[in-house]
Each structure stands twice: as C-alpha cells, then as structure tokens.
Chains A and B, each alone.
Chain A
Amino acid sequence: MLSGPRTATDRSKLPFCHESFHNLQELRHSASLANKVFIQRDYTEGTICRFQTKFPSELESRIERSLFEDTVKTLNNYYAEAEKIGGQSYLEGCLACTTAYLIFLCMETRYEKVLKKISRYIQEQNEKIYAPRGLLITDPIDRGMRVIEISIYEDRGSSGSSSGSSSTTSSSGR
C-alpha cells in the first residue's frame, strides 16, 4: 500500500499524492485490510483505456451498485478524453514535432492534465463515498493502468486499536 512521505517537501515531489489521502492510508493500516478487489481493463473497444463496469460480488454488501458504476463510467470518460484523437491532439502533436518536442519542457501534455483531473476525482470519491463505507480506491496510474484496485477494510468497532476507538469517539462526536 502506498503511503505518503514524512515531510511536505517529499510529498510535493510525488505525483498524485494528497495529504488527506496519506492520513487515510495511515489510519487504514491500523484498521484491518480484509480484501482487495481488482477491476480489470475492458478491451472490447481496442487498446484505449477502459475499465469493466461489472459490479464485483465482494462489494455487494458495501456499496450501492449505481454509485460504483458511476465512478467507473466517469473514470472511463476521463480516459477517453485523454486519449481522444481529434483536432486538439493533432495540433498538440504537430506543435510538439515542429519544436522537436522541447515544448514539453514548459507545458504538460493533455494526457497529463487529464491524469491530474482523474487523481483529484478519485480523491474526492474516496472522501465522499468510499471511505465512509470502508473502501478505498487506488488510482490506476499507480498500478500501471492495469486495474482499479479497491481495498476493503473491516470495521474494527470498539474492540479495535487506538485508531479504532478514536474513530468511534469521533463518530459519536460528529
């Protein structure tokens, strides 16, 4: 499981790493990781990046099907946008070619911009939807774009560690 570095400077050097995510990760390690579900790629439309929207059985009791499918569909749309071949990508490609690709020293490619959007989206989904249900989505870019890894955590309850008890106290305090 990827966890954040200790200092802010370290963190700033890593892509796709967010402070709240980092804290959630640390907390997760005190909670027990029950299982991991892997959403595989869907190659029916060729080599473009698409993930299967089939709802895995392990998540049936944890999250509503519609929420899950929405997340995956949105991710698929983002990836399609990144890999779209159209006017803008041609322009970018030609411009890059004429400048001998030096232009990418100053600006980032459209793909990278979309990847950042995806990373923000995943973090937001984790915070709002998945974490409250004891789930955690790992950004596919951290897994080589092969899978969407969803970690399933068990609720510790009152018999847990300090973090478990703090979670109950804080939830009661909410």
Chain B
Amino acid sequence: MYSLKHLGVAEPMRECEYSQISTRSSTPMESPHKRKSLKKKWQAFQGRNKFYCDGRIMMARQTGVFYLTLVLIVVTSGLFFVFDCPFLSSHLTPAIPVMGGVLFGFVMGTLLRTSFSDPGVLPRATPDEAADLERQIDVANGSGTTGYRPPPRTREVVINGQTVKLKYCFTCKIFRPPRASHCSLCDNCVERFDHHCPWVGNCVGRRNYRFFYMFILSLSFLTLFIFSFVITHVILRSHSIGFLSALKDSPASVLEVVVCFFSVWSIVGLSGFHTYLIGSNQTTNEDIKGSWSSKRGKDNYNPYSHGNLFTNCCAALCGPLPPSLIDRRGYVLPNTPLPAPPTNGITMYGATQSQSHMCDQDQCIQSTKFVLQAAATPLLQSAEPRLVTEELPLPGRTSLGGPCPSLLLGQPTPPTSTPSLSCDGEIIPPHPSHPPEPPHLHPHAPHHHHAPHPHHHFLTPEEAPSPPGMLPCGSPLSHSHTVPFYHPASQDSLHEDSVRGLVKLSSV
C-alpha cells in the first residue's frame, strides 16, 4: 500500500538519486553540477519555429516579409515625423505629432506582440497518448489494414446542435480540437487557427488574434492619419509657394503618400474583414471554407457564436488570455515524455510504430515488401529509410532532410494524394477529400484587394519557405512515402515506373 509517508518531505534526496540510477540506465544521469547541460524545451521543439531570447520570442521560420513590414512602417513613420511634423505642428497643432507618436507606438507594440508570441500551439502527443489513441482507432475501425488506404480518422461531436468533425493529425498524433488546424509552414497544430500571416512572420491563432486585430486596426488608422496629414501638409505649403515647389521642398511626402495609398486599400479592407469575422465569431479558415454559411444547408449555423455582436466582440478582444501550452523555457528533464516522432502513412498502417526502432536491414526488407505489394516507385524506396533514421534521433534540429518529409508528413491526410507525386512546386497540395490547411492558401479575394497583402501562403512554397534545394530532394522522398498506398491502376506512367523498378530490383 502506498502511504503518505512516502510522499513526505522527509524522504531523502539520496534515495531518489539512487533509484534514478537503478531504473534509468539508458538516459543520461543528471546531477546538480550538470544543470547547465539541461536543454530547454524550445531547443527540443518539434515544430518549424525559430526561437530567440532563450525561448521568449517565437516566430515562424520565414521572417523575411516581417522585416519588410517593419521597415515599411518605421521608415514611413520616420519620414513623417522628420519631414512633415515640424511644419504641421507649427502651422496647425503640436497634437499631431503626439497623436502620431501614440499611434505608431501602438502599432509597433501590437505588431511585435503578434509576431513574437505563441499563437496557441498544441504540443504533440506523448508516445503513450499516441499509442492509446491508435488502439482506440483500431478498435473503432476494425483491423483491416492491408496497406491500402485506411479509413479516415475522424471523430464526430455535436456542439450546440451542430455536428462537427474532429480530424486526426498525423504529425501531432492528436485529434484536433474544434477550430484548430495544422499549419504546414510551421508544422504545428494551432488552436483556433485563423491563418498564417507572412507579414507578421507567425501564425495567427487563439493567443494572438486580438493583438493581430489591434495591429491591423491601428495600422489602418496610422496609414490614414499619415496619408491625410501629408496631403494637408503639401496643400498648405502649396498655398504659399505653389504645388511643384512644395513637392520639391519635401520629397519624402511623395514617398509617404505612395506607400500609404497602396497600403490603405488592403489594410483597411483587411480590418473590415476581420471586424466582420470577430462579430460573427468565425476564423478566416472557417469563412473561406464556408463552414457555417447558410449556403451549405438551411440548418447550418455557427455553434461558437455567442448570439450577439457585442458579446462576440468582447469575447474575442477582452476574453481571458490562455497561457502557452508549450512551456518553451522549461527544462527538458530526463523523464519528460518527448512527443513521439512524426510518422507517415507507412509506419501508421501495417509497418512498425517508429522506424527508429528498426535496424536498417529490417527497413530494407520492409520497403522491398511494399514495393512488391503495391508496385510502387522502386530504388528510391531503399534510400528512404536511411534518411528517416538519420533525422529521427534529432528531433529538435532543423536539418535539411528534416523539414522536407515533415512538410509532407504535416499533411493530415493519409498519403495517397496524386498531387504529392508531382512535386513540381506545390509541396502542399490541396487534397480533395480533406479540405484542410489549404483553406489558408486561398486569397481573400472575395473580400478585398489582396495584391500587396498575401495572407495566403500559396506564394510561399514557390518562394521556398523550405530551402529551395529541397524540392528535388522532396520528390524522391514523397514518392517513397506516399506511393505504396497509391493504386497503380489509375496511373499508367506510375505502373510503368513500377514495372521498371521491379525489373531493376530483380537484377540486384
């Protein structure tokens, strides 16, 4: 029987260390002196994020556009304060630079807060949880896994009278909560996923949506503010010295007007769009998919809406701010259950749970079996397991080989999609039966101009968020990952390839 005495403070530390030695010989022994060598959790984080300031700052991998945003805002505002404000404060009122300053400060604050905070990333499942879920799913679906496409893993739940489907995320090995989505750029499941915004260099989700909204709202005001006052400045000046000489006197004004003119349309439009979303308590993802639109059915309504506009707004902007679930700055202790490594369709259905446990020879045998079974693309297959074993022991590292398969592994769908074989630029194909992440690929075109302001990331695969050099390396991996479960009958070229491959194999 376990008694309270064992829980008591009197338990000597020595005994704990002794049992540590006896039971955990495989993990490194941690002593107080080795505290410095303990890794922090952000260093072992499995998503594709960048961390700064010892885990305090968290951003997406591609931050180039974020720096552009910063430069645009700082330079334009700087030019305004330097060239226009002196004239305006002397001729009109000094309140103008003050207000401008306050607006600028607010814009920068909200921008940095949006970009640097955790959007609401869901940590990946521990191996025990993943195994438990697998068992439940197998029981529910029956064990008819012969290597072909398994039934999709979904759970249905009724929320406020609406049936919502919860999808299983193969990367994170969890059933995604409602409104959560997996961001393929960051390779994380994010709660209440809105979209991935390259302009702020981060995903927009539950924890930073209000900052994002404040940012675009205040930026709209700042843009309009600068635009109107620069024009006022030029007009006032041109009263005395003529229009052209006024422009010559303050050339910066021209630049500011141009920048503001082009930004105003997209930013004000975006603010309007998000105001609508907040009022109806929807995410960009849901709006684009039309999840709650009445066009889907007469009884289709948004189960998350609080009913009235005011409550929806207050809930979104002033509701409680949940803490980060990923504990970036905590230490990775020897016993901390690290999330299970991401698996692909092969390991999920039929093969081993985790390839790292297999020796290379076994993997070769396994892969050969798959080739024979599914008549898939061949020789590349034998190369694949090696790559996977190499990258698995380094979960935290963002190696070149790592993101590539994980980009594909990031797909929640079983890897049977045709487009993934084509690998000619679209690493993130929209799978017809699972309209998932790709919603945030779609532009906001129906709502407003979007040319300067792409909130979708269908641009980014071409811009190569993952190193461009990986596209070629991506193809063999994708072939080997996905093809075994592909029905060759539907693709003649694939059939040819596989026949060729089998011939090659037999000659080895």
A residues near B (Cβ < 8 Å) are 1-7, 10, 13-15, 19-27, 29-30, 36, 38, 40-41, 43-47, 82-85, 89-90, 92-94, 96-97, 100-101, 109-112, 115, 127, 131-132, 134, 141, 143-147, 149, 153, 155, 161, 163, 166-168, 170-171, 174
Residues of B contacting A24 with CB < 8 Å? 2, 6-7
Whether A132 lies near B320 (C-beta < 8 A) is no
A132-B1, A170-B5 known; A30+B23 contact, CB < 8 A: yes
Complex formed: what's the CA distance from A127 to B3 in Å?
A: 9
Residues of A contacting B306 with CB < 8 Å? 85
Q: Which B residues from 125 to 154 make CB contacts under 8 A with A?
A: 125-126, 128-129, 132-133
Whether B2 lies near A167 (C-beta < 8 A) is yes
Whether B177 lies near A41 (C-beta < 8 A) is yes
The residue in chain A whose Cβ has the minimal distance to the Cβ of B11 is A23
The residue in chain A whose Cβ has the minimal distance to the Cβ of B123 is A144
Complex formed: what's the CA distance from A112 to B327 in Å?
A: 13
A26-B19, A36-B128 known; A44+B159 contact, CB < 8 A: yes
Complex formed: what's the CA distance from A1 to B319 in Å?
A: 33
Whether B335 lies near A46 (C-beta < 8 A) is no
Min Cβ gap B18→A in Å is 9
Of B27-35, B60-68, B390-398, B487-495, the one with at least 4 CB within 8 A of chain A: B27-35
Q: List 29 A-B contacts (CB under 8 A).
A: A5-B333, A7-B32, A7-B35, A10-B331, A14-B330, A22-B16, A23-B8, A25-B335, A26-B20, A27-B2, A38-B128, A41-B177, A45-B160, A46-B178, A82-B320, A84-B320, A89-B319, A93-B321, A94-B318, A101-B211, A131-B7, A132-B3, A143-B126, A144-B123, A153-B2, A161-B22, A168-B1, A170-B6, A174-B5
Whether A111 lies near B318 (C-beta < 8 A) is no
Whether A6 lies near B13 (C-beta < 8 A) is yes
Residues of B contacting A110 with CB < 8 Å? 320
Residues of B contacting A82 with CB < 8 Å? 320
A6-B17, A85-B315, A90-B314 known; A167+B129 contact, CB < 8 A: no
Complex formed: what's the CA distance from A168 to B1 in Å?
A: 7
Contact string against A for B residues 391-411, beta-carbon threshold 8 Å, 1 for contact and 0 otherwise: 000000000000000000000
Min Cβ gap B133→A in Å is 8
Min Cβ gap B342→A in Å is 16
Give the residue of A93, A127, A144, A149 whose beta carbon is less than 8 angstroms from that of B7: A127
A20-B7, A47-B179, A109-B321 known; A101+B113 contact, CB < 8 A: yes
Whether A43 lies near B159 (C-beta < 8 A) is yes
Residues of A contacting B2 with CB < 8 Å? 24, 27, 131-132, 134, 153, 167
Total residue contacts A-B, CB cutoff 8 A: 183
Min Cβ gap A20→B in Å is 4
Complex formed: what's the CA distance from A147 to B22 in Å?
A: 30
Whether B322 lies near A111 (C-beta < 8 A) is yes
Complex formed: what's the CA distance from A170 to B323 in Å?
A: 41
Q: Which 9 A-B pairs have the closest CB atoms?
A: A93-B318, A144-B123, A26-B16, A20-B7, A23-B11, A3-B335, A144-B325, A90-B318, A171-B1
Whether B8 lies near A171 (C-beta < 8 A) is no
Complex formed: what's the CA distance from A25 to B7 in Å?
A: 9
Whether B9 lies near A127 (C-beta < 8 A) is no
Complex formed: what's the CA distance from A169 to B404 in Å?
A: 57
Residues of B contacting A149 with CB < 8 Å? 128-129
For the A-B complex with A20-B8, A100-B106 known, give 18 more contacts whose Cβ atoms are closer than 8 Å.
A3-B20, A23-B6, A26-B11, A26-B15, A27-B2, A36-B132, A43-B159, A43-B164, A83-B322, A92-B320, A97-B317, A109-B321, A144-B123, A144-B325, A145-B325, A161-B22, A168-B1, A170-B5
Complex formed: what's the CA distance from A36 to B31 in Å?
A: 29
B4: Cβ under 8 A from any A Cβ: yes
* Most chain A C-beta atoms within 10 Å of own C-beta, residue among B9, B128, B160, B164: B128
Residues of A contacting B350 with CB < 8 Å? none
B168: Cβ under 8 A from any A Cβ: no
Whether B125 lies near A146 (C-beta < 8 A) is yes
Give the residue of A10, A93, A112, A155 whose beta carbon is less than 8 angstroms from that of B1: A155
Complex formed: what's the CA distance from A70 to B326 in Å?
A: 28
Min Cβ gap A137→B in Å is 14
Complex formed: what's the CA distance from A58 to B174 in Å?
A: 21
B122: Cβ under 8 A from any A Cβ: yes
Whether A44 lies near B157 (C-beta < 8 A) is yes
B272: Cβ under 8 A from any A Cβ: no
B273: Cβ under 8 A from any A Cβ: no
Residues of B contacting A144 with CB < 8 Å? 122-123, 325-326
Whether B24 lies near A29 (C-beta < 8 A) is yes
Give the residue of B3, B133, B304, B331 whose beta carbon is less than 8 angstroms from that of A5: B331
Give the residue of B23, B31, B326 whose beta carbon is less than 8 angstroms from that of A6: B31
Residues of A contacting B333 with CB < 8 Å? 2-5
The residue in chain B whose Cβ has the minimal distance to the Cβ of A130 is B2
B303: Cβ under 8 A from any A Cβ: yes
Min Cβ gap A6→B in Å is 5
The residue in chain B whose Cβ has the minimal distance to the Cβ of A21 is B7
Min Cβ gap B83→A in Å is 27
Residues of B contacting A132 with CB < 8 Å? 1-4
Give the residue of B19, B133, B314 whose beta carbon is less than 8 angstroms from that of A163: B19
The residue in chain B whose Cβ has the minimal distance to the Cβ of A89 is B320
The residue in chain B whose Cβ has the minimal distance to the Cβ of A147 is B129
Whether B158 lies near A44 (C-beta < 8 A) is yes
A115-B323, A174-B5 known; A29+B35 contact, CB < 8 A: no
Complex formed: what's the CA distance from A44 to B164 in Å?
A: 10
Whether B9 lies near A20 (C-beta < 8 A) is yes
Contact string against A for B residues 156-171, beta-carbon threshold 8 Å, 1 for contact and 0 otherwise: 0111100010100000
Residues of B contacting A21 with CB < 8 Å? 7
Complex formed: what's the CA distance from A46 to B304 in Å?
A: 6
Whether A146 lies near B3 (C-beta < 8 A) is no
B109: Cβ under 8 A from any A Cβ: yes
B468: Cβ under 8 A from any A Cβ: no
Residues of A contacting B133 with CB < 8 Å? 38
Whether A46 lies near B303 (C-beta < 8 A) is yes
* Most chain A C-beta atoms within 10 Å of own C-beta, residue among B6, B311, B326, B330: B6
